[in-house]
Structures are given as C-alpha cells and as structure tokens.
C-alpha cells in the first residue's frame, strides 16, 4: 500500500495539472488554433519522422475513409440484422492509422443509427497505437496478429480493408479471421491487380481466394480510393462478405 499511494497521488496531481492547462489553452486559443495544435500532436504521435504523420493525415486516412464509404452500405445491412438497441462488437484488422475504426466508433457510439458498435482495432504495428488512441479515443487498439489471439476472442463483425493482398497466404489468414467471427466478416481488396503489383502487394486477389468459405455476397466495384494507374490501367476492388461457421 505504501508504494501505491504516491503513484496514485502523482497521477491525480498530473491529471489536475493537465486539466488546468487544457482549460487555460481553451480560454486563450481560438478553436482553429486548438485544431492546428491537435493536428500537430497527431503528427508527432504517428512516428519519430513527421513525414509519417503527414502521410497518415493527407493520404492514408483519406484512402481508408473512402474505402469505408464503399463498404459502409454492406456494413449497414449487417448491422440491421442485430437488435436496434443492442451492441455489436466489431474488429477492424489492419486499420492503418485508424481512420475507418475511428469513424465507425463515432457514428455508432449511441443507438441513434441503430445498434451501438464497440470497435477494436488489431494491428501488428505497435507504433501506431499512440496515434490511434489520440485520434480515435473510442477505439481499443490491440497489438497482435490474428493468429495469436486466444480462442475465446470473438467479434460479431470483422472488417478487413486492403490487407490480405499484403500476405503470402491470404486464405490461411481468412481462415484465422473466421475463427474469431461470430457473425460476418467483410473483406475489401484489390481485384485481379495487374502486374507489376503495387508496392508490398504479394499476389492477386480474386473469387478463388474465398473458395471454400461461406460466401454471403461478393461483388467487384470501382472505388475513388483505387483509381486507374498513371499508365491508364483501370483498377477495381472486390468486396466480400463471409458468414461465420458457428
């Protein structure tokens, strides 16, 4: 007990000091200045190199949000199958810098749009934790790979956007995802990407990638987040909903 008391006291004092500083800043800075300050904090928390944070805010997050817009009608249809006043546990796998997870957590933080959605984000890149917690405070960040999750870790809905094309064995990854899915898993990925593949993409994704799973829906779509290449090669995305085995 004697060792814990100073720590608790220090934490309380730190919180009061931080609260006083925030109030002082709010009284003296304009909302726009506060917004720019928060953005600078986001950039600093994205990595030791500020270019990482600027890339997240200016490129990666807009693309992730655009992909979510493409997939959101599908997610809405899934959410509508749950009780309106219920709660859905959702896992975003490979969330990049958390934009999609953050938006889903904000949109569905209450029952206004239907079931409340509690969002977890799973990533093997631990360095994004601080950035995601800063920009998406309602999202719980989990630093792990899906294969190492305990057997009883389950989610109602899993969302995985533009991640499986980075893997050597996407089918094995999908099998691992489905072990932790109680309802549906939604996958979005480049469809039959032309060679040479984009940087860090390992192989093409097609209908065959999902053979043997319980496919509830599958469609090939155009996306503003995945436009034609500089050489004019048209590109598409495949949007797949898999039903759980259980």
Q: What is the pLDDT of residues 122-137, one digit of tens each?
A: 999 998 899 999 999 9
Written as one string, the DSSP assignment of 50-109 is HHHHHHIIIIIHHHHHHHHHHHHHHHHHHHTTS-TTSEEEEEEES-TTSHHHHHHHHHTS
> What pLDDT, on the 0 to 100 scale, is given for residue 7?
67
Confidence of residue 206 (pLDDT cuts 50, 70, 90): very high
CATH no., domain 60-243: 3.40.50.150
Q: Sign of the CA dihedral 187, 192, 194, 196?
A: positive
> What pLDDT, on the 0 to 100 scale, is given for residue 246?
66
Q: What is the pLDDT of residues 2-44, one digit of tens each?
A: 455 556 788 788 878 877 877 887 788 888 877 777 788 888 8
- The fraction of the chain above a pLDDT of 70, given in percent, is 97
Domain ranges in the chain are: 1-45, 60-243
Candidate from 46-60, 66-80, 156-170 with smallest mean pLDDT: 46-60
> What pLDDT, on the 0 to 100 scale, is given for residue 207?
98
Task: Tell me the mean pLDDT in the region 224-246.
Answer: 94
Within 10 angstroms of residue 165's Cβ, the number of other Cβ atoms is: 19
Q: 69 is written with which tokens? A: 């817009």
> What pLDDT, on the 0 to 100 scale, is given for residue 2?
47
Instruction: Please determine, for residue 1, whether its predicted confidence score (pLDDT) is greater than 60.
Output: no
> What pLDDT, on the 0 to 100 scale, is given for residue 43?
81
Residue 157: left (phi > 0), alpha (psi -120 to 50), or beta?
beta
Cα 170 to Cα 173: distance, rounded to the nearest angstrom:
5
Cα 77 to Cα 53: distance, rounded to the nearest angstrom:
34
Q: What is the pLDDT of residues 93-103, one digit of tens each?
A: 999 999 999 99
Instruction: Please determine, for residue 80, whether its predicted confidence score (pLDDT) is greater than 80.
Output: yes
> What pLDDT, on the 0 to 100 scale, is given for residue 6?
52
Q: 240 is written with which tokens? A: 């797949």
Task: Tell me the mean pLDDT in the region 151-176.
Answer: 98
Q: Report the mean per-residue pLDDT for the chain.
A: 92
pTM value? Answer: 0.88
């Amino acid at each position: 007990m004697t060792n814990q008391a100073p720590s608790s006291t220090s934490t309380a004092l730190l919180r009061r000091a931080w609260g006083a500083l925030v109030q002082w800043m709010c009284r003296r800075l304009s909302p726009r200045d506060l917004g720019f300050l928060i953005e600078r904090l986001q950039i600093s928390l994205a990595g030791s190199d500020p270019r990482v944070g600027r890339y997240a805010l200016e490129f990666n997050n807009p693309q992730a949000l655009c992909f979510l817009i493409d997939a959101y009608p599908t997610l809405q249809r899934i959410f509508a199958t749950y009780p309106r006043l219920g709660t859905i546990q959702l896992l975003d796998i490979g969330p990049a810098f958390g934009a999609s997870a953050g938006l889903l957590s904000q949109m569905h933080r209450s029952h206004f749009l239907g079931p409340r959605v509690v969002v977890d984000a799973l990533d093997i890149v631990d360095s994004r934790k601080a950035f995601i917690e800063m920009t998406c405070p309602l999202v719980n960040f989990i630093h792990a790979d899906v294969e190492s999750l305990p057997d009883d870790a389950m989610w109602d809905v899993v969302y995985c956007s533009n991640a499986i094309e980075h893997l050597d064995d996407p089918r094995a990854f999908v099998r691992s995802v489905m072990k932790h899915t109680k309802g549906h898993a939604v996958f979005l990925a480049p469809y039959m990407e032309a060679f040479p593949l984009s940087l860090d993409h390992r192989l093409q994704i097609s209908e065959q990638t999902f053979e043997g799973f319980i496919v509830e829906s599958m469609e090939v779509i155009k996306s503003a987040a995945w436009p034609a290449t500089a050489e004019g090669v048209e590109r598409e995305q495949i949007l797949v909903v898999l039903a759980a085995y259980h």
